[in-house]
Amino acid sequence: MTIRRLNPLDAEAYLGIRLEGLKNTPEAFGSSYEEEKDHPVEKYKRKFQSNNSFTLGAFEDTQLVGIVTLVKEKLLKLQHKATIIAMYVSPEKRGLGIGKSLMVEVINVANDMEGVEQIYLTVVTTNEPARNLYASLGFHVFGTEKRALKVDDTYFNQEHMVLFL
């Protein structure tokens, strides 16, 4: 397995795994498959050229099997913060340490970013494996948002977590 920063040439593969995640685990993301299925691949090509965010991909051979994005805050008073979003590993590749490898790498990159002192993320409370992974890496819960997401007629709570670097 190889982990590297995605670039514009990876945009199609990213869009594929992103839509897979939105379809397979709608409760894990604020966005929905219906909202993103028609986004043009050019959107992601531009995203991968940003200086304030980056997306890492985990590859087995040439297949993209996991992703995670880190977004650094732009406003002067918030520049000490970054947020992890869009963490996903394909179901058939879970349990192999890919998620942990992605998280360790994204934390390492955040550590190297000038001025970043803390990393935030949110996780749905029903995703026990993800919650355990984040806790094992030093993230701490600082709040729970009740009914944070609504998928069809089902509500999901989210935990807000932080890691101080």
Alpha-carbon radius of gyration of the chain? 15
The sign of the CA dihedral 111, 108, 106, 138 is: negative
pLDDT confidence tier of residue 52, bands split at 50, 70 and 90: confident
Q: CB–CB of 21/36 below 8 Å?
A: no
Q: Whose CA is closest to 64, among 6, 130, 103, 109?
A: 6
113-163 pLDDT per residue, tens? 999 999 999 999 999 999 999 999 999 999 999 999 999 999 999 999 999
Q: Whose CA is closest to 55, among 94, 14, 112, 98?
A: 14
Q: What pLDDT, on a 0 to 100 scale, did the predictor assign at position 51?
A: 82
* Cα–chain center distance at 1: 18
Q: CB–CB of 134/161 below 8 Å?
A: yes
Q: Are strands 118-124 and 81-89 parallel, antiparallel or unpaired?
A: parallel
* Cα–chain center distance at 140: 17
96-121 pLDDT per residue, tens? 999 999 999 999 999 999 999 999 99
Q: Whose CA is closest to 87, among 114, 116, 120, 117?
A: 120
Q: CB–CB of 118/144 below 8 Å?
A: no
Residue 59 above 90 pLDDT? yes
